[in-house]
Structure 1
Amino acid sequence: MNHVLNVTSEIGKLRTVLLHRPGQEVENLTPEYLQKLLFDDIPYLPIVQKEHDYFAQTLRDNGIEVLYLSTLLSEALHTEEIKKQFVYDILTESKISVDDSFYVIADYLLSFDTSKMVEKIMAGVRKDEIEHMKKKHLYEILTSHYPFYLDPMPNLYFTRDPSAVVGNGLTINKMREPARQRESLFMQYIVKYHPRFANKDIPIWFNRDFEYPMEGGDELVLSKDTIAIGISARTAAKSIERFTLNLFHSQSDIKRVLAVEIPKSRAFMHLDTVFTMIDYDKFTIHSAIQDADGKMDIYVLEKGPDNETLNITHKTNLLETLKEVLGLKEILLIPCGGGDMIAGPREQWNDGSNTLAIAPGKVVTYDRNYVTNELLRTNGVEVIEVLSSELSRGRGGPRCMSMPLVREALD
């Protein structure tokens, strides 16, 4: 493993991971704007930070290098020119018109040292912070009740979604919802300018300038030659095709992509909220993604004859498809909440299926999902529970909160 990025499975021993410790952006949530910012509730910041620190320390205790998004971004913005361009890009992506207010807000952000500026961009800029701003335009008068010049970014602690490592390359994702679209800009700057990644010829399999969305919670690296991607509320079929064609044009290890269609709902936001790989032959699953006969729509994408098209095969049996692509005789699907009509949906809502494998058969889960956790243990999985009373309010579990950068290759 000579690559600075290397993920060829979901279960290889995790070596390096990217996290974001929740900050002031969470305190800038208010009931009126929860829906706009994609939250259902307001986490209590001191406790959500304590729980996140516990999660990070759990990973360190298991020999995993923990990197933080804010630190990497601050280190990437190492010249005034890069720092200024980043601020301008953030304001442009935030739909702040290029007029006097644009430059006033830019100057305000640039007045901070780099690390404080990054924290401020993440937290958002309130209107009462820049009192001398004059409302010269009609749109400014009409929106004067709105408290922010620059919206907070409370979803940042779900580092899985804006970008994902596939093989030795990266997807820098087009996020579906406006509240999250700026997030992938962070990784774009980190990869381009941070000394750890710059000039390392990292392949970009999918870029954030594509018209249609794709998010990392839908991307699962099942093996060195097979990727699964959810066709979900957040990832479009056209993006999956673009990603797949880019992969096939640029490398030869990955042979196929499974496009797995799941219900497009808030509860089933990404594929990894209803389906994760936890061992060579074990997966968690929320039973509601299959019909009464255990069927669902799966599309196997492989190289077409001319390298510009794809061969697409329709499958309906997840278990048999997994056996086929992974070359296994048996596979165990472990249902969230034991498949119980009450415990299943309740624990799926609290990310009982969003397990983070840190080695084959060894996973990190939320402590609150006790039915699922006990079932995992019964089936021979080592379960490490982390605190979750406030973290879970953001609707994302341990896999959502982590972006693996390096995993050991499987034997």
Structure 2
Amino acid sequence: MTDKMKVNVTTEFGELEGVIIHTPGLEVEEMTPETAKRALYSDILNLAVATEEYKQLKGVLNKVSRVFEVTDLLAEVLKSEQVRKELLDEICRQENAQEIHADLFELTSPELARQLIQGVPIMRNNLTRYLSQERFSLWPLHNFLFTRDASMSFRDEVVIGKMANAVRDREALIMEAIFNHHPMIEATTVNSQKAGNIPTTGNISIEGGDFQVAREDVLVIGTGIRTSTQGIDFILESIKAKKEPIRHVLVQELPDMPESFIHLDMVFTFLDRDACMVYEPLILGTTRYHTIHIQIENGEVTKITEEKNLVKALKKLGIDLNPIYCGGRNDIWTQEREQWHSGANFFAIAPGQVIGYERNVNTVEELNKSGFEVIKAQNIIDGKAEIPKNKKCVITIAGSELARGGGGARCMTMPFKRKKVDW
């Protein structure tokens, strides 16, 4: 058997070694205009087009890292009867679907994994279910292509997400089962719902799109409609419990509207030791949204102060970043348009080497002006181009359909192992 891979993420841009993704499947098509809002979408996707675009992302990732599919990992852990029982107990209890537990338990592991993601159609074998307006006993996980949100890697631990919307709770349960039980992955999980001695308060929610690792001692976390202040307090308590030397958490408040501001990584992402992508009006402009620096030392919060903005706060901690503007510098409307289509949402495969949507032409042009070579993903996959060694580049993937789902390359990747960065 291949040696276990130990979770280790100490920055957003260390060289990628292990990443979990989920290629969109039939769960994406099990959506109508009427149910899209319930599924947290503003539109419905064409699966055929989205799949072809997703192949570009996966093709590049396969060139640089070990890549794992959620469905395969889940099928592997479901081979254990104990894991299968515990996971089904929790899912069926939470989603009030105990009547299908026995039938699901008897499925093969691959088929059970598929149904837990693509949905379990309702059996209309009694009057209540016959008259029900619901189509599924377990709804499809329409959002699981955005693997970022349900779990977060930090150092050698994985924080299990507490999703802001119940329709995504099953994603977190699945990711927890994978990290706790897959034979190839070595991880310690931290779950606010099973916190043990870590104090918890109030309405905890925390999703990976808001959680960024700046450095081994610095976290950057957004708070808005998906991650609550209580969720960040849980992270603070988890850090305090370790009683380590100085640690820093930078918190960025986010607006409730527009919906494209759903997570921090829709307005801010790390690109390199010295570069970040920003949606300038929110991150650098004059706004009413606070940037807070929290310092923790030997198990105690020793400082909470307000900072001018996120970039300046990071500079004070020795992380001096050149902000590159999503949508360019010339036109606020262009900035808004490209931010809406995940123009600030980049995923780093190594320091200064990032993946993003080619449709955001002004953003890509800004990157190019800042020294990033522009390379089409398909050319890398076809062998017509190579990822340059130790040089900055932006690898562009098609995104005419995927972007309509409300997320970009960072949203669609869950890295759990990266090489350490030399500062």
1:8 is displaced (CA, Å) by 0.5
CA distance in 1, matches of 2:283, 2:82: 51
SS at match of 1:154: coil
The answer to whether the Cα contact below 8 Å between 1:295 and 1:317 also exists between their aligned partners in 2 is: no
Q: Quote the Cα distance in structure 1 between the aligned partners of 2:143 and 2:291.
A: 29
Query: 1:269 aligns to what?
Result: 262
Aligned letter for 1:391?
A: L
Q: Is the 8 A contact 1:338 1:371 kept in 2?
A: yes
The answer to whether the aligner puts 1:408 opposite 2:419 as a matched pair is yes
Aligned to 1:115: 110
Q: Can you give the 5+ residue segments of structure 1 that lack an aligned partner in the other structure?
A: 97-101
What is the CA distance between 1:293 and its match in structure 2? 3.5
Matching residue's letter, 1:81 = Q
Within-5 A mapping of 1:67-78: 67-78=68-79
1:193-250 CA-partner distances (Å, limit 9, x unpaired): 21123xx4x3334434564100000011011110100012100111111112212322
Number of aligned positions between the proteins: 390
Q: TM-score, structure 2 length as denominator?
A: 0.87
Instruction: Name the counterpart of 1:322.
Output: 314
1:143-162 to 2 correspondences below 5 Å: 144-162=132-150
Report what 2:90 is aligned to. Answer: 89
Distance 1:346 1:377 in 2: 19
Counterparts of 1:219-258 in structure 2, within 5 Å, are 219-250=211-242, 252=244, 255-258=247-250
Q: Is the 8 A contact 1:18 1:67 kept in 2?
A: yes
Residue 258 of structure 1 and its aligned partner are, at CA, apart by 0.6
Amino acid paired to 1:116: E
Relative distance call for 1:46 and 1:6 in structure 2 (3 A) is same
Instruction: Determine which of 381, 385, 397 is the counterpart of 2:408.
Output: 397
Which residue of 2 is the match for residue 371 of structure 1?
362
Give the 3 Å change call, closer, same or farther, for CA 363–263 of structure 1 in structure 2: same
- Among the aligned pairs, what percent are the same residue? 33
Pairwise CA RMSD: 2.1
The code of the aligned residue for 1:203 comes to T
Q: CA shift at 1:75, angstroms?
A: 0.7
Distance in 2, matches of 1:327 and 1:154, equals 37
Distance between the aligned counterparts of 1:157 and 1:333, measured in 2?
A: 28
**Maintained 8 Å contact 1:223/1:326:** no
Q: Offset of 1:135 from its aligned partner?
A: 2.9
Say if 2:14 and 2:349, in contact at 8 Å, map to a contact too. Answer: yes
C-alpha distance 336-204 of structure 1, shift in aligned 2 (>3 A): same
Q: Match of 2:172? A: 184
Alignment partner, residue 121 of structure 2: 126
Q: 1:31 — aligned with what? A: 33
1:333 correspondence with 2:319 = no
Pick closer, same or farther for the CA change 1:58–1:291 going to 2, 3 Å: closer
Tell me the SS of whatever aligns to 2:86: helix
* SS of alignment partner, residue 338 of structure 1: coil
For the 8 Å contact 2:295–2:303, the answer to whether it is kept is yes
Match of 2:395 in 1: 384
Distance 1:310 1:152 in 2: 45
For residue 51 of structure 1, report the CA deviation from its aligned partner. Answer: 1.6
* Structure 2 residue runs without a partner (length 5+): 195-199, 373-392
Deviation string 1:159-200 (CA, Å, 9 cap, x unpaired) is: 000001011111101000111111100111112221123xx4
SS of alignment partner, residue 92 of structure 1: helix
Residue in structure 1 matched with residue 154 of structure 2 by the alignment: 166
**Alignment-mate amino acid for residue 239 of structure 1:** G
Q: 2:341 aligns with which of 350, 359, 362?
A: 350
Q: CA deviation at 1:264?
A: 2.0
Query: Cα 1:376–1:241, aligned 2, differ >3 Å: closer, same or farther?
Result: same
Determine the structure 1 residue equivalent to 2:277: 284
1:37 counterpart SS class: coil
Aligned counterpart, 1:45: 47
**For residue 99 of structure 1, what is the aligned residue in structure 2?**
none
